[in-house]
């Protein structure tokens, strides 16, 4: 490894350590009635053969929509008068801030848990959301689904999403949050509330993809952060930060000393060549 490439790695480590110290964790909680909520079921396998209808009315399996990529899963209903719209708006805001693009690095599965809703409603909601998303190619990667009650309940139970129909108001009581799935359909991360920090969402997708997306800087930053299942957020791990900062300091000193030694050797070689050239010059005669 040459001095220049070694220096770049040292810089990357030092930048990562600095970013870790400068960052702070944001905790979002969304209290809900006892009958509803979101239970974390990490590593649960979502059946990829579950069938739903996409926004065109076509019957599809969840597996056919994954495309070998991690996915964001949200359970909402399209005629929800308040909370679901906030969840979708929070998703849209986070997606617009991410430099990952829907359909390229990840998929989005938005599933209605109201079995009475139709694919026409799903199509209208998709159109509305995509009108405000920064990349038109996302149309092939953000899927708005409807389904029958049996498959909806099965999916909701597997991912720990508890909801309840309230006949008196003809509405559903439910929690707010989204899940990250691995390309194989396993539940990897939960994010609660109606706002999803870009940093947390990015980390969740990178980990779900087993580092197949993201950059070297992301991998270094992930050494400083740990996912907390209790809060559904990434928190700073101080000991990891101190270790990285210590390693970065040592490598920085080594790189500095190494650079000085290299410069000194170059000076000696240059002086040696100059001396050798001077000794071969002819001696003037009188």
pLDDT in tens, 86-102: 999 999 999 999 999 99
* pLDDT score of 263: 75
pLDDT in tens, 105-144: 999 999 999 999 999 999 999 999 999 999 988 999 999 9
The rounded percent of the chain whose pLDDT value lies above 70 is 69
- For residues 79-86, give the mean pLDDT: 95
**Numbered ranges of CATH 3.40.30.10 in the chain:** 31-196
Inform me whether the pLDDT recorded for 283 exceeds 70. Answer: no
Rounded distance, CA 119 to CA 57, Å? Answer: 5
Rounded distance, CA 36 to CA 23, Å? Answer: 33
Place of tokens 């000794």: 279
* pLDDT score of 112: 98
The rounded percent of the chain whose pLDDT value lies above 90 is 60
Residues 198, 94 contacting (CB under 8 angstroms): yes
Cα distances from 261 to residues 64, 161, 266, in angstroms, run 58, 62, 9
Q: Which of 196, 62, 57, 54 is nearest to 139 (CA)?
A: 54
CB burial readout 91-125, b (16+ within 10 A) else e: bbebbeebebebbebbbbbbbbbbeebebebbbeb
- For residues 3-32, give the mean pLDDT: 44
Helices (H), strands (E): how many in the chain? 8, 12
Domain covering 31-196, topology: Glutaredoxin (3.40.30)
More confident: 49 or 266: 49
- For residues 176-195, give the mean pLDDT: 96
């Amino acid at each position: 490894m040459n001095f220049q490439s070694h220096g770049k790695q040292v810089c990357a480590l030092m930048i990562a350590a600095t970013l870790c110290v400068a960052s702070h964790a944001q905790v979002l909680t969304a209290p809900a009635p006892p009958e509803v909520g979101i239970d974390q079921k990490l590593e649960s396998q979502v059946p990829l053969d579950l069938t739903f209808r996409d926004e065109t009315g076509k019957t599809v399996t969840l597996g056919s929509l994954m495309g070998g990529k991690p996915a964001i899963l949200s359970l909402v209903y399209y005629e929800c008068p308040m909370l679901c719209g906030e969840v979708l708006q929070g998703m849209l805001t986070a997606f617009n801030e991410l430099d990952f693009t829907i359909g390229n690095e990840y998929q989005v599965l938005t599933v209605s848990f109201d079995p009475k809703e139709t694919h026409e409603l799903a199509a209208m909601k998709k159109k509305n959301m995509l009108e405000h998303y920064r990349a038109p190619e996302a149309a092939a990667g953000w899927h708005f689904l409807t389904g029958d009650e049996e498959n909806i309940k099965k999916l909701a139970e597997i991912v720990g999403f508890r909801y309840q129909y309230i006949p008196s108001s003809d509405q559903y009581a439910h929690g707010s949050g989204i899940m990250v799935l691995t390309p194989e359909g396993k539940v990897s991360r939960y994010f609660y509330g109606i706002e999803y920090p870009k940093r947390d969402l990015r980390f969740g997708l990178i980990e779900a993809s087993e580092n197949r997306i993201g950059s070297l800087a992301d991998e270094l930053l992930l050494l400083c952060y740990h996912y907390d299942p209790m809060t559904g957020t990434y928190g700073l791990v101080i000991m990891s930060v101190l270790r990285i900062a210590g390693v970065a300091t040592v490598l920085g000193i080594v790189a500095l000393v190494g650079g000085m030694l290299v410069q000194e050797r170059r000076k000696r070689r240059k002086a040696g060549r100059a001396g050798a050239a001077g000794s071969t010059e002819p001696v003037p005669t009188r």
